[in-house]
Structure 1
Amino acid sequence: MSATFAAPATGKTSILMAVCLAALVLPLSFSGGAVATPAIGGDLGGSPTALNWITNAFMLTFGSSLMAAGALADQFGRRRLFMTGIIVFAVLSLGLSLAPSILILDLLRGGQGFAAAAALAGGTAALAQEFEGHARTRAFSFLGTTFGVGLAFGPLLAGFLIGMSGWRAIFLSGTLIGALSVLLTARTMRESRDPDAVGLDWPGAVTFTATLTLFTYGVIEAPEIGWGHPIVLSELLGAAALLAAFIRVETRAARPMLDLSLFRYPRFVGVQVLPIATCYCYVVLLVLLPLRFIGVGGLSAFDAGLLLIALSAPMLIVPLVASHLVRWVSAGVLSGAGLLLAALGLFWLGRIDPAAKGMAVMLPMLLIGIGTGFPWGLMDGLSVSVVPRERAGMATGIFSTTRVAGEGIALAIVNAILAGLVKARLAALVSAGDGSAGAAAQRLAMGDVRGASELLPGLTASQLRESYAVAFQHLSLVLIAVTAVSALVILALLRQPAPETGEAGEEAFVEK
């Protein structure tokens, strides 16, 4: 049994509020950074690769350390890890608001990702200890909704703060929200841990982190220096070798960080597909669309954030609706249908001119947001039914790693595909060498039309925007394919109603 103490109802509410505040500030830092990227580049300078790391450094360290953080939460205490993570996150946010260069900012973002992993793993594991049965499902559904709201409304808040006080205010807001979460936690959260925890699986943690690092580096560098470049090839091959080493380590460990045997069970696989699907139909848009609206469409940061409300507003309502509908309709059917609806919205969005405004671009984004809201509101609650309550740290760590690491990988892949598609289009229009077209494609994929024009002076701004539009349309087909295939997999694996969870949660789960 897990060592824990009962908290009164009011205390449980405060604990949920504290964890939800953390779940709000973490995605605000992620999506808000995407809107701030053009402003940061204008202030601190930096190459497209360096600017990409504003988001990718955070996502890389966040995703790669979540499973390790879950194990540490079980061993040293969920409250202790949550408090440490959110305090360090708030301090680093303050440092980011004072960053003097793009290099320092990228390094601090990497450190912020580690702190975010500790806060999320400790907080979600603590929630799993405080709530049981349907109350736990409702708490995690509310947590997922909060996370979605923070992720979605980050662009609007960022646009407002940039317009009022500049990009540094975005990170300062993280300090303030983090401090409030600490105050709530200090008063109410009780300590709990797994008495059977035996320590961190260091070989697994190191090989997993190294795998993600090499893969992300390779994918980010490929559009600029080429997929066939020795550096890129060595990074990707090294990532594959380390992945094989990670799997070997985990299959032989007495207490692995990731229990690979769980992947034999269809429902476990289905739960992990849910966050992967939402990465490609929703999360990547929170980074791509601000760059498109600001850089290619010419909108201000605030207007871009305002436009993105169409994508984010459904996250206020649809996840809660889904949590009620799941009483009558299985989570697999609701999630699969929602993803197919999102795929339809992606098809529509891909055919909209990048300079379009108003309802022309808001309607397809609204459709995507509604469709994504169904799996978004269900997957956090489903994730805690994977293992018994005593292994809550591992359960939430595995699911959160799939979500966050998947987001980081998806962003790197999608940015690389978009840059490659833009490069192919530009190379067909100009007689310049691959170097000029490749560098210009990198700039244009980041929404920097002016920078691309300086590298390719023979092309007009209209031709550059058209090249971006064609590339984005082709990219949307890739996103549609991933979303639709994921929907079919989820319909197949999660079509039956979810079993009740409890002490025998894993058995109930796998039998289905």
Structure 2
Amino acid sequence: MRKWLPLLAVSLSTFMLLVDLTIVSIAAPALAEELHSSFSALQWTVDVYVLVLAALLMAAGSLSDRLGHRRVFVAGLVVFALASLACGLAPDTGALIAARGVQGLGAAAMYATNAALLAATYTGRDRSVAFGLWGAANGAAAAAGPVLGGVLTEHVGWRSIFFVNLPVAVVAVVLARVGIRGGGGSAAGRMDLPGVASFTVAATLAVYGLIRAGDAGWSDPVTAGVLAGAAAATLVFLLVERHRADPMLDLGLFRRPAFAVLMFGAAALTASAFANLVFVSLWAQSVLGLGAMTAGLVLAPLAVVAFVVAGAGGRLLHAVPPRHTIGWGLLLVAAGTALCTLVGPDSGWPVLVPGLCVTGVGVGLCTPVLASAALAVVPPQRAGMANGASNTFRQLGYALALPVLATVVTGQARHVLGGGGGAGAAERLTGGGYRELLGEAPAAVLRAAYVAGLDRIFLLSAALAAVAGVTVLLLLRPAAPAAPAPAREPVAAGAARD
């Protein structure tokens, strides 16, 4: 049993940090009421966590290659636990958003090292089992967040969704210290601070621009300026990485079609399967009038199915080429989200169950294989970088999709409401203000307005997953990783052993 302690430590940390991606969405109405939060502020409580997580994943991966994976992993656990405590004690929305950002920093350190720790600890069939069970934790966590959040919010209070992280983090630290072999990594090379800075600026400006577009419109001069700044920062990042001897992200990896298509598939998976769940939670609570716990349970089919399929897949699909499990998994996500478009103004939550189950199968197939496939197509010295890049693209997919989908939902609601309150009413509706608007517009119109937005975002999610699935099936082919150029590979081969 001792050999599985590293897997347990890694899976606990993964489940905890991914639950925090979605757990806030189910607590949003209670949080907004106590802290008097606006819809934009609610978006930031979700997005700032994902944004910091995505912005620092690659830096954390590169750092772990130098300092040792276990060392960075444990440090991340400690930072995450302290930030969770600060979130639970937050007196206002600003403090909560700041603490969520620090949470993202700890999450980045944990998530960037997960797959590298498993790859260094397990071999052969044990590795397939380990990645399968770790993938089960990945697949279940994002959808289980609303379920856990609903139970805690309804019976304890919204602050408990953060306090629950503390005992989990303590257990994970103990397991990591006991079960995971330590090591110093390699001290070669320097941290790519210009790369970290330019990537963070680019991601922040892109997310802020997309959120502002939902409030002020795409023609707003500030929106246009912010998005132009994001494009400029992205260009700076690419130029910086291209000319550094020890980059945060070696752009040469993208010359390998297998690596490039895996990054696209990783981003498309979270964007299409999970970003829309935030609006399903709000719809279930505000329009259907469900309690927080019941609304969380609406998403349970996706979580349960993803967990079962990912856990079984590691053992049963050991010899299946990654392009099939990932490609067909994404196509199943497309089919599942397309089924969710059957929701109508008079529908109840059961109409979503078939689509959520099919989506769960797709998520369960994709998640464990994406991580191991990314590691398989790069040199061992780039294990931390590849793991960080894969997880970065997954979180960027979610972070960028969320404000885009919010804009789409609000836009569709505005179209249906017409002159009945205009943009202000549409934003209040999509932010959970259905009950408040009942005196201003008929219930049937409000329900139709929200469902029109849900229908459109499910359709967009299905289209993205379908394109990604076909791309993976056509372009992902096995390829032995080429030896890295000496000038671009300062990290010692022993770094991946920790």
TM-score by length of 1: 0.90
Do the aligned residues in 1 keep the contact of 2:72 with 2:113 (CA within 8 Å)? Answer: yes
Q: State the number of aligned residues.
A: 484
Q: Provide closer, same or farther for how the CA distance between residues 264 and 356 of structure 1 changes in structure 2, counting only shifts above 3 A.
A: same
Shift of 1:210: 0.2
| 1:362 and 2:353 aligned | yes
- Deviation track 1:206-253 (CA, whole Å, cap 9, x = no partner) reads 000000000111111111112111211111000000111111111111
DSSP 3-state at the match of 2:327: helix
- Aligned identity (percent) is 33
Q: What residue number does 1:490 align with?
A: 472
Shift of 1:190: 2.5
Aligned ranges for residues 224-263 of structure 1 at < 5 Å? 224-263=215-254
Do the aligned residues in 2 keep the contact of 1:296 with 1:354 (CA within 8 Å)? Answer: no
Q: Provide closer, same or farther for how the CA distance between residues 297 and 223 of structure 1 changes in structure 2, counting only shifts above 3 A.
A: same
Aligned ranges for residues 113-132 of structure 1 at < 5 Å? 113-132=104-123
Q: What residue number does 2:457 align with?
A: 475
Q: 1: distance between equivalents of 2:256 and 2:140?
A: 31
| 1:462 and 2:437 aligned | no
Shift of 1:453: 5.0
Q: What residue number does 1:507 align with?
A: 482
Q: What residue number does 2:496 align with?
A: none
Q: 2: distance between equivalents of 1:69 and 1:142?
A: 23
Q: 2: distance between equivalents of 1:220 and 1:480?
A: 22
Q: 2: distance between equivalents of 1:442 and 1:227?
A: 15
Per mean C-alpha deviation after superposition, the further-off stretch among 86-95 and 364-373 is 364-373
Pick one of 44, 52, 59 that aligns with 1:68.
Answer: 59
Q: What residue number does 1:439 align with?
A: 424
| 1:331 and 2:322 aligned | yes
| 1:375 and 2:366 aligned | yes
- Deviation track 1:168-199 (CA, whole Å, cap 9, x = no partner) reads 11111111211111121222322234426312
Q: Provide closer, same or farther for how the CA distance between residues 123 and 268 of structure 1 changes in structure 2, counting only shifts above 3 A.
A: closer
- Deviation track 1:422-464 (CA, whole Å, cap 9, x = no partner) reads 223323x53xxxxx5222222222232134557xx2x222211
Per mean C-alpha deviation after superposition, the further-off stretch among 350-359 and 312-321 is 350-359
Do the aligned residues in 2 keep the contact of 1:293 with 1:354 (CA within 8 Å)? Answer: no
Do the aligned residues in 2 keep the contact of 1:73 with 1:125 (CA within 8 Å)? Answer: no
Q: Provide closer, same or farther for how the CA distance between residues 354 and 143 of structure 1 changes in structure 2, counting only shifts above 3 A.
A: farther
TM-score by length of 2: 0.92
Per mean C-alpha deviation after superposition, the further-off stretch among 50-59 and 332-341 is 332-341
Q: What residue number does 1:222 align with?
A: 213
DSSP 3-state at the match of 1:450: helix
Equivalent AA in structure 1 for residue 23 of structure 2:
G
Q: What residue number does 1:6 align with?
A: none
Shift of 1:101: 0.8
DSSP 3-state at the match of 1:507: coil
| 1:266 and 2:241 aligned | no
| 1:422 and 2:413 aligned | yes
| 1:136 and 2:127 aligned | yes
Q: What residue number does 1:4 align with?
A: none
Q: What residue number does 2:269 align with?
A: 278
DSSP 3-state at the match of 2:237: helix
Do the aligned residues in 1 keep the contact of 2:18 with 2:141 (CA within 8 Å)? Answer: yes
Do the aligned residues in 1 keep the contact of 2:268 with 2:394 (CA within 8 Å)? Answer: no
Equivalent AA in structure 2 for residue 73 of structure 1:
S
Pick one of 184, 188, 202 that aligns with 2:193.
Answer: 202
Q: 1: distance between equivalents of 2:110 and 2:98?
A: 19
Do the aligned residues in 2 keep the contact of 1:281 with 1:372 (CA within 8 Å)? Answer: no
- CA RMSD in angstroms comes to 2.1
Q: 2: distance between equivalents of 1:475 and 1:157?
A: 24
Q: What residue number does 2:388 align with?
A: 397
Do the aligned residues in 1 keep the contact of 2:342 with 2:351 (CA within 8 Å)? Answer: no
| 1:303 and 2:294 aligned | yes
| 1:175 and 2:166 aligned | yes
